[in-house]
Structure formats: structure tokens, C-alpha cells
């Protein structure tokens, strides 16, 4: 069994090495300077082709750049969810114990109220957010 695992691991590593070499060769041949994300995407694309057995296309001199997609910036609820996750791992400074379940439930309820408000009235935006 260990030799099968090693063989499978070595095959994956070999395909990644082939994909990286082919991507670097194609970028050099076409005089394209790929940034880290573009090179990673090109290596992943070529690895998938090698894994599928399509060595001719995986070794081609063509660089296929993926379209640039702008990530939407996090919203108020995204930040609140992140903060709420931190609160669940936090301990009380006074007792040293986890924060109470009722307190965490009230924070989750506040998140639900904010989500309802955002759905009914207007989208929540950090610059326009105040106590009112």
C-alpha cells in the first residue's frame, strides 16, 4: 500500500512540474509576463490537461489567460459575520470563561435584524451606518 501512495504522489508532483515548465515555456515564448495569480491559473489549467491525458494541449505554446474578475468588497454583514465568529472564540476578561450563550444569541439576533433591515429598506453601507 505505501508504494501505491508514493507512486500516486509522485505522479501528481510530476504533472505539476510538467505543467509549471510548460506554462513558463509558453509565457517566455509568447513574451508574456504573468503575475503570480495568472501563472498559478495557467499551471492549474495545464495540470488538469495533463491529468486528463491531453498532453498535446497541456504542452502547447499558447497561454490562455483567465478573465479578470473583480471581487466585490465585503459588506457590513460580511464584517459582522467575521466579528461574530471572533466573539464565539473569545473569553471573558473577568471570569476567563467563554462568553455566555445568551450574549452570543443576542449578537446573532442583531445580525438577523440588520439583514432584515437591509432587505427591506436599503442596502447597508459602512459610510452611511450610524446608531439610528
Domain ranges in the chain are 2-58, 76-128
Question: pLDDT value at position 50?
Answer: 87
CA–CA separation, 13 vs 55, rounded Å?
15
CA–CA separation, 68 vs 125, rounded Å?
25
Question: Would you call 93 helix, strand, or coil by DSSP?
Answer: coil
- Digit-coded pLDDT (tens) for 62-116: 787 766 667 788 888 888 899 998 888 888 888 888 888 999 999 999 999 888 8
CA–CA separation, 50 vs 131, rounded Å?
56
- Digit-coded pLDDT (tens) for 23-53: 898 888 888 888 888 889 889 988 888 888 8
DSSP state, 75? -
pTM higher than the cut 0.85:
no
Amino acid at each position: 500500500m505505501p508504494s501505491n501512495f508514493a507512486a500516486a504522489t509522485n505522479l501528481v508532483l510530476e504533472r505539476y512540474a510538467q505543467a509549471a515548465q510548460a506554462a513558463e515555456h509558453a509565457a517566455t515564448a509568447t513574451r508574456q509576463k504573468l503575475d503570480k495569480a495568472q501563472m498559478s491559473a495557467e499551471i492549474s489549467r495545464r495540470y488538469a490537461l495533463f491529468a486528463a491525458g491531453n498532453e498535446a494541449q497541456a504542452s502547447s505554446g499558447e497561454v490562455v489567460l483567465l478573465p479578470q474578475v473583480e471581487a466585490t468588497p465585503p459588506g457590513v454583514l460580511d464584517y459582522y459575520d467575521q466579528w461574530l465568529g471572533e466573539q464565539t472564540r473569545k473569553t471573558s476578561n473577568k471570569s476567563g470563561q467563554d462568553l455566555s450563550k445568551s450574549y452570543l444569541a443576542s449578537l446573532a439576533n442583531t445580525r438577523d435584524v440588520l439583514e432584515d433591515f437591509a432587505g427591506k429598506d436599503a442596502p447597508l453601507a459602512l459610510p452611511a451606518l450610524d446608531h439610528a
